Structure 1
Amino acid sequence: MAGSNADVGEVGLLLENGCRITHGNAANVKKPFPDMMPGLTMHELSPSNNKAFQGPLGFIEFTTDIRLPRHIHMDASKSKLVDERILVLNGVGLVELAGEVFAVAPGSLVDAVGGVPHTWTACPSGVRLPDGTVSAGTFTMVYEYQLPTFFFPTASTEVASEVSRYRPFEGDLDDIRFPVLSAQQVVNTASVVIGRQKGQLQMA
């Protein structure tokens, strides 16, 4: 089912908060050498090449015990909000974007707009996605930042449209970590983007 608060972008599903989730046939799928290598398929997950990324590139292996505190990203001088893109390489991730929770299928790219509060953990075992993928309680993400950045924790789920709208968090970071969710709670509360549609989750 299509999300009522989201529009389809050039690739993937563009959310109302400006973030984008790209999965499967919603990517720019190309076969550059159809005669020579018919099995070679390119899945371009990024909507364009008009934004240079000059920040760190790395990966994190998540379990359900690794629950990041909600945060945004800014540059070191706190003068610019910093975008991030995250590729779920394998397994099923859970991301909260401005208060909305998504299960993220393997091979999906999440473009997180600077100023959108977000947090990640692994989807607990036993959640079935519409494409048949079943979560196992772990996933690997590859992340890349637009610029060198730090984590700026926040309790707010409101989008900070500019640096001055960021409200620093000064309490116990455990209070703003991704909450511990059972598989059934994920099915009841989260969405998933498959292709260009928001879909429902099921218990395996």
Structure 2
Amino acid sequence: MALDGAPQSLGVKLDNGTRVTHGSGANVKVPLEGFPVTMHELYTGNDDGAKLSFEGQFGFIEFHPDCRLPRHIHMIRDETTGKLEMLPERILVLNGVGVTELCGEYFVVAPGSLVDIPPGVPHTWNACPPGVKLPDGTVSDGHFTMVYNYSDKTSFFATEQTELLGSADEYVAYQGDLQDIRFPILNKEEIVARAQFVWNSDLRQDLDLA
């Protein structure tokens, strides 16, 4: 995985274009002298040309281990031309520990992390199973709260594809049973063995069991 070293950008940028911002990888500051208020600025307004303006749905989901979303991307259909356009998605893991599949790879997502998923990244989410320990001692309990925001009004476009899509023309709609493309059932040992995670400004693979 590649790290993005651009000084004006926050977080870690994965090879598929997804950016994960966590901990001191954010712009952490105390803006007002004399007031004990610490800001964790997860996004500076610089989107690196990734079209990360957000005008679509905004809300939250309470995840548990049985949620296991089907793999999908997000798109919108142009009302004039009828053509599909791929859209980005922004996810904030508010509390608890999540796990996501991005282009076929697994990533555990720590609480307080912002995940900016660019257009064309097939992805799915679930709650991290109980018993996975993060570097600060946080242990997953099988639940997390996801706050989501889309760049425009959209819905799920299910796909079996795992490769990064360069355009909407490459999208192949999944016609089968959505149960077959849900996030797989993984236990804590499998997560520790297979998943990477962003911690502060580093992409790491040293998860542990509680």
Normalising TM by the smaller chain, what interval?
over 0.9
Structure 2 distance, partners of 1:154, 1:28, is: 35
Given the alignment of the two structures, is residue 113 of structure 1 paired with residue 118 of structure 2, yes or no?
yes
Aligned-residue offset at 1:49: 5.2
Q: How many residues align?
A: 199
Task: Check whether the contact 1:6–1:13 (CA below 8 A) recurs between aligned residues.
Answer: yes
Given the alignment of the two structures, is residue 162 of structure 1 paired with residue 167 of structure 2, yes or no?
yes
Aligned-residue offset at 1:196: 1.2
Q: 1:47 to 1:118 in 2, by over 3 A?
A: farther
Alignment of 1:20-39 (within 5 A): 20-33=19-32, 35-37=33-35, 39=36
Structure 2 distance, partners of 1:197, 1:131, is: 14
Task: Check whether the contact 2:165–2:171 (CA below 8 A) recurs between aligned residues.
Answer: yes
Structure 2 distance, partners of 1:67, 1:47, is: 31
Aligned-residue offset at 1:170: 0.6
Aligned-residue offset at 1:86: 0.2
Which residue does 1:5 correspond to in 2? 2
Structure 2 distance, partners of 1:99, 1:5, is: 16
Q: Once superposed, what is the RMSD of the aligned Cα atoms?
A: 1.3
Deviation above 3 Å: which 4+ runs of structure 1?
A: none
Q: Deviations over 1:117-166 (max 9, x none)?
A: 00000000000011221000000000000010110011111111111011
Task: Check whether the contact 2:68–2:184 (CA below 8 A) recurs between aligned residues.
Answer: yes
Letter in 2 for 1:6: L
Given the alignment of the two structures, is residue 103 of structure 1 paired with residue 104 of structure 2, yes or no?
no
Which residue does 2:18 correspond to in 1? 19
Q: Deviations over 1:23-63 (max 9, x none)?
A: 00000112111x321x2111111242554211010000000
Aligned-residue offset at 1:110: 0.4
**Equivalent of residue 46 in structure 1, options 43, 46, 53:** 43
Alignment of 1:62-77 (within 5 A): 62-77=63-78
Structure 2 distance, partners of 1:177, 1:156, is: 12
Structure 2: runs of 5+ lacking an equivalent: none
TM-score, normalised relative to structure 2? 0.91
Letter in 2 for 1:110: V
Alignment of 1:125-164 (within 5 A): 125-164=130-169
Structure 2 distance, partners of 1:195, 1:47, is: 16
**Equivalent of residue 207 in structure 2, options 170, 179, 201:** 201
TM-score, normalised relative to structure 1? 0.93
**Equivalent of residue 93 in structure 2, options 77, 88, 101:** 88
Structure 2 distance, partners of 1:75, 1:5, is: 29
Task: Check whether the contact 1:89–1:141 (CA below 8 A) recurs between aligned residues.
Answer: yes
Structure 1 distance, partners of 2:178, 2:44, is: 34
